[in-house]
Chain A
Amino acid sequence: MSADSVAAPKITFTPGADNRVRRRLLWSNLVRQACRIAVYSAIVVLLVLLSVVFWLSIGWLDAQFLQSGTSRLAERAGIKAGLWGSFWLILLTAVISLPIGVGAAVYLEEYASDNRLTRTIKTNLANLAGVPSIVYGMLGLAAFVKMFGLFGGLRSGLQLNLGLLVVPLPFGKTVISGALTMSLLILPIVIIAAQESLRAVPRSIRIASLALGATRWQTVWRQVLPAALPGIATGAILAISRAIGETAPLLMAGAVSMARIYPGGIESPMDLLDPSKVGAAPFSAYTTMPTAIYEYIKIPEEEFAHVAAAGIVVLMIVLTVFNAAAVVIRMRAAKKVKW
């Protein structure tokens, strides 16, 4: 050791009296606790809401409730018409919006060149997702229910006979009008979610596929879509879940509120075997679960608070089943891709 070497200062691993260190640690802990409170407060509010609803529904959510249509008499009121209406509405919404939504996303991400038009479309998709749903309801009313009056009024319109299908023009207050309106509403969400998933697939996979002599479509179908499918499915299910719960646009675009109406006259799964009933369903009047619940809540008599609660419980069970299905679909799709 040389004489001029200075001993290194002593180091310590405990904060001790160092105020700066203490303040940093304190702040870190505060943020951690604040975040924890944020989580728990959300959960507590949700739990309170859920328990109140469940509490109110006790004794009212029974076989009679599940087997009755909408009614102004509390003891005859039920959710069945809403269930079937929602079933048809969501089925048609999914059939219409998923192919269009995924197709649009595939075009924007895989085919379209990067020019001002596609950039404008991409930016404005996010804006469309933020448009209030009531606006879509008004659009649906004008474009689908009334078809801008091109075919005359609702009662004096045309009937298009296509074998099993009898299509009224304009569509009027039917399931198909509602489904088209809902499709417009959720399309931006479906497209954006699908775009995100497609973008997450590495570009090198596309290049490698094309270099092996695959066409664009083969590359999309065999490489890109399978890898993106779990993400696309999640986005689609979230969008559909939103559609199940939407009320406002349907009040505008024609869900009938107080009625025992079953689209196509289908009241049980067995009726689904009758093609003429199935063919008539899209062009029938309908009500949905949220509209039925909304109508029940509006009625001042006390019993209807319980009826509405029972309806909410059914709606939530349907949503939960839907989301569980989404998880299963997602896991299966993810298993096929061998990352």
Chain B
Amino acid sequence: MSTESQRHVPPSVKGVDRDQDMSEHSLAIEARNVDFYYGNLQVLFDISLLVPERSVTALIGPSGCGKSTFLRTLNRMNDLIDDTRVSGKILIEQQDINSDDVDVVLLRKHVGMVFQKSTPFPKSIFDNVAYGPRIAGEKNKTYLADLVESCLKQAALWDEVKGRLTDSAMALSGGQQQRLCIARTLATTPRIILMDEPASALDPASTSRIEDLIGELCSQYTIVIVTHNMQQASRVSHRTAFFFEGRLIEFGPTTQIFTNPAEKKTEDYITGRFG
């Protein structure tokens, strides 16, 4: 029998206060009745979810439950896949991101994304971080140098790379590459950062660095993170959404989801009975 008292929730990382009152925070993301289709195959059913600004929301669920697909609807990366369709409304800072006059390029500048597999460009470390601002038209060299430094510092990578910014980013270790990708995303000064299993390919030490980093970043950015690792979800997030077979089964404060879930399916999943 699992009861509330027996269930152990790991302590959260520094910077994430799971009991924080978010009622004063305005809404960063508002998804209303979102359905999503690959061709004729419906993979998301009626997803509605509110994300307050400057918070961390974890999306959990078994493989194929639609959590990554949902994440990609938030910066319209699904547009890159042929024959997909989304219905319902997704508002980011009160603006419908699927409306006709929205430019995806601007959307993605403000809603950054970090992928499961780190994808540094085959360029120098500096050029990787400076890529976002450069494509947005930034040419001022001192500004770029300052920005690259501050982003690398925010991503806790500066001390490891400061002497070799012109080296290839491909020479960095897996964990460093992933932090570089986070620094690169920060350089576009986004409001929201989407993370698609950012630590699943990393060793435990690098994973814990990424988690600490999320704790530091959430005071400035709204973070939505997809993760397979339930301990990770409980450590880094304020709120947790449990997806199953394309439906949002339960969404609430992380402490409650992990100690006292309302739904049987959620309880089965977080206690490891399936998934």
A211 touches B82 (CB 8 A): no
Do A210 and B108 have beta carbons less than 8 Å apart? Answer: yes
* Bound-complex Cα distance A114 to B108 (A): 24
A204 is an interface residue with CB less than 8 A from chain B: yes
Task: Given A207-B80, A208-B121, A338-B168, check contact A213 B108 (CB 8 Å).
Answer: yes
> Which residues from chain A sit less than 8 Å from chain B, CB to CB?
113-114, 202, 204-205, 207-215, 218, 222-223, 227, 337-339
Asked if B168 and A209 make an inter-chain contact with CB atoms under 8 angstroms apart, the answer reads: no
Give 29 CB contacts A-B under 8 Å. Answer: A113-B82, A114-B82, A205-B119, A207-B80, A207-B119, A208-B115, A208-B119, A208-B181, A209-B131, A210-B77, A210-B108, A211-B108, A211-B112, A212-B112, A212-B135, A212-B184, A212-B185, A213-B105, A213-B108, A213-B135, A213-B136, A214-B135, A215-B105, A337-B123, A338-B122, A338-B124, A338-B167, A338-B168, A338-B169
B interface residues, how many (CB within 8 angstroms): 29
Known contacts A214-B105, A338-B169, A205 near B121 by CB under 8 Å: yes
**0/1 string, B85-120, CB within 8 A of A gives 1:** 000000000000000000001101100110101010
Interface residues of B (CB under 8 A from A): 75, 77, 80, 82, 105-106, 108-109, 112-113, 115, 117, 119, 121-124, 131-132, 135-136, 167-170, 181, 184-185, 188
User: What residues of chain A lie closer than 8 Å to B169, measured between beta carbons?
Assistant: 338
Bound-state Cα–Cα, A222 to B121, Å: 10
Cβ-closest chain A residue relative to B181:
A208
Asked if B115 contacts A207 (CB within 8 A), the reply is: yes
Roughly how many angstroms separate A215 CA and B119 CA in the complex, as a whole number?
A: 18
Contact B108 A339 (CB under 8 A): no
Q: A114-B82, A211-B112, A212-B108 given as contacts; is B135 within 8 A of A227 (CB)? A: no
- When chains A and B are docked, how far (Å) is the Cα of A212 from the Cα of B112? 6
Asked if B131 and A212 sit within 8 Å, CB to CB, the answer is yes
| A210: chain B residues within 8 A (beta carbon) | 77, 80, 108
CA A14 to CA B77, docked complex, whole Å: 60
* Given A211-B77, A213-B109, A214-B105; A339-B122 close (CB under 8 Å): yes
Whole-angstrom CA separation of A114 from B81 in the bound complex? 11
Q: Shortest CB–CB separation between residue B250 and chain A, in angstroms? A: 29
* A218 and B121 form a contact (CB under 8 A): no
**Chain A residues, CB < 8 A from B123:** 337-338
How many angstroms between the C-alpha atoms of A222 and B185 in the bound complex?
A: 17
- Asked if A211 contacts B113 (CB within 8 A), the reply is yes
Which of chain A's residues have a CB closer than 8 A to the CB of B80? Answer: 207, 210
CA distance A113 to B80 in the complex (A): 10
CA distance A263 to B188 in the complex (A): 54
The distance in angstroms between the C-alpha atoms of A188 and B242, with both chains bound, is 52
Q: Are B132 and A204 in contact, CB atoms less than 8 angstroms apart? A: no
A212-B109 Cα distance, complex, nearest whole Å: 6
* Complex alpha-carbon distance, A210 and B106, angstroms: 11
Residues of B near A214 (CB, < 8 A) are: 105, 131, 135
Cβ contacts under 8 Å, B119 to chain A: 202, 204-205, 207-208
Which chain B residues lie closer than 8 Å to A222 at the CB level? Answer: 131, 135
> For residue A115, which residue of chain B has the nearest CB?
B82
B83–chain A nearest beta-carbon distance, Å: 9
Contacts of A212 in B (CB 8 A): 108-109, 112, 131-132, 135, 184-185, 188
The complex places the Cα of A218 from the Cα of B132 at a distance, in Å, of 11
Chain A residue nearest in CB terms to B109: A213
**For the complex, what is the distance from the CA of A114 to the CA of B82, rounded to whole Å?**
8
Contacts of A113 in B (CB 8 A): 82
